[in-house]
Chain A
Amino acid sequence: MSVGALSAFNLLVRRELCLSFRRPDQLLQPLVFFLIVTTLFPLGLSLQLSLLRDMAPGVLWVAALLSSLLSLDGLFKSDADDGTLEQLALCGQGLTLIVVAKTFAHWLVSGAALVLVSPVVGTALGIPTGAFPTMMLSLGLGTLTLSWLGAIGAGLTVGLKRGNVLLSLIVLPLAMPLLIFGAGATDRAISGTNAAGALYFLAALCVFTCTLAPFAATTALRITLE
């Protein structure tokens, strides 16, 4: 019985989500990290909320980047360690589909979750509610792009002993344009000017990455796992 590509994709995403929810503590760790890091800045700087607002986009985005990186290490690791990844690769659906499914599922539990939590953090940092839609949209696009950049990095470093640090070293330089535009969009929304330009650019980065990164990530896995 042959399974169509779309139903295989659904199956894989459901599997990933099932596995993630089986370990709720692992699921919540990046979120908690995100909340803690954003708290560190106001505590360390003890600024008035109105002054904190100026720093808020940057703080939000750096925290989102760092907490996404935390969860990226495990993207392929557990399946690569016990041989499941190789079995999946051999099942006939193609490694690329598996990579897309895993990365999408990863984004759902990390990036999308961050976007949902961001209004709470935004309020804590003094971001006006009027800027929330732009903030959430930019975070959504940005975390999706980041999940894909991270998939390339994770593919390259799976199986390395201290791959975690190297993963960050690889992903962060590639993610810097993302940070610039994402924080820029939120910043513009806060100050009331039109954020459309920055958002369009973020969307373009997202589309560019989402179309090319799957092939790069698949090639990376083929290189490191063969």
Chain B
Amino acid sequence: MWTWFYKLASPPYVYGVAATLVPWFLGGAALALGYGLIAGLAIAPPDYQQGEAFRMIYVHVPSAILSLTVYTVMAAASAVALIWRIKVGHAVAAAAAPIGASFTILALVTGSLWGRPMWGTYWAWDPRLTSELILLFLYVGVMSLRSAFEDPSRGDRAAALLATVGVVNVPIVHFSVVWWNSLHQGATIVKLGAPSMPGSMLWPLLSMWLGFMLFFAAVLCIRLQGEVLNRERQSTWVREAVKA
């Protein structure tokens, strides 16, 4: 039953699976993002308090959720790689890092653009914004540490340890609006109980979230192929794979 799990530790298997999955993930992402954008921009009614500005939620919230999800994926892959010495874990972590960093920047920028009309400021030293900024620094730290070592395997393991240590920041970002008095709005979707948003506004948001997730999966698979190749360059299966 667990054979599929063991297969995932094998670089050639992962390379093949990633290649097959990319078009499916991209197609799904296109559909979800397409519906989400059209419904979010044109069909959902304007908000009672925020007017048309609320529509920025359709890119801000998915990118913010993804920035945390991708870090968790990176930390989990790193932990697996460190504990069970599964090299594919390092490849996944290395592939996820730049994607996560870009989503964090996106969350910060879209949040800033949304903050200006709503709160009157592009930035505030508020717990959620600050911890999200720390998340960006952690991503950059992990990527810098990996590339600082001449021995790539040592760089992988050092970056993996840092990624695992830094994962404490993820719950801090999520719960910051609960633990402290924050300017930022509280949780509306990822919480216990029903979401506090009407359906016409909620469905496009969920669709955008799904679209971003599928997009992340697609880009991760593409990068993962490259990372696996770079780490396994000397093996025979790679020679066969690139001759094709």
Contact = CB atoms under 8 A, between A and B. Distances in A.
B165 A152 contact: yes
B166 interface: yes
Contacts of B154: 223-224, 226
Given A156-B162, A174-B165, A176-B134, A169 B141 contact: yes
B158 A173 contact: no
Interface in B138-179: 138, 140-141, 144-145, 148-149, 154, 157-158, 161-162, 164-166, 169, 172
A224 B158 contact: yes
Binding site secondary structure of chain B: helix
Interface residues of B, number: 21
A108 interface: no
B137 interface: yes
A169 B161 contact: no
B230 to A, nearest CB: 20
A151 to B, nearest CB: 11
Nearest to A208: B168
A223 B82 CA distance: 10
Interface in A180-196: 180
Given A160-B149, A173-B166, A223 B138 contact: no
Nearest to B166: A174
A172 B162 CA distance: 13
Interface of A: 152, 156-157, 160, 163, 166, 169-170, 172-174, 176-177, 180, 216, 219-220, 223-224, 226
7 A-B pairs with the lowest CB-CB distances in the bound complex, closest first = A173-B137, A223-B157, A173-B134, A170-B141, A156-B158, A169-B141, A173-B138
17 contacts: A152-B165, A156-B158, A157-B145, A157-B148, A160-B149, A166-B144, A169-B137, A169-B144, A173-B134, A173-B138, A174-B165, A174-B166, A177-B172, A216-B165, A220-B161, A223-B154, A223-B158
Interface of B: 82, 130, 134, 137-138, 140-141, 144-145, 148-149, 154, 157-158, 161-162, 164-166, 169, 172
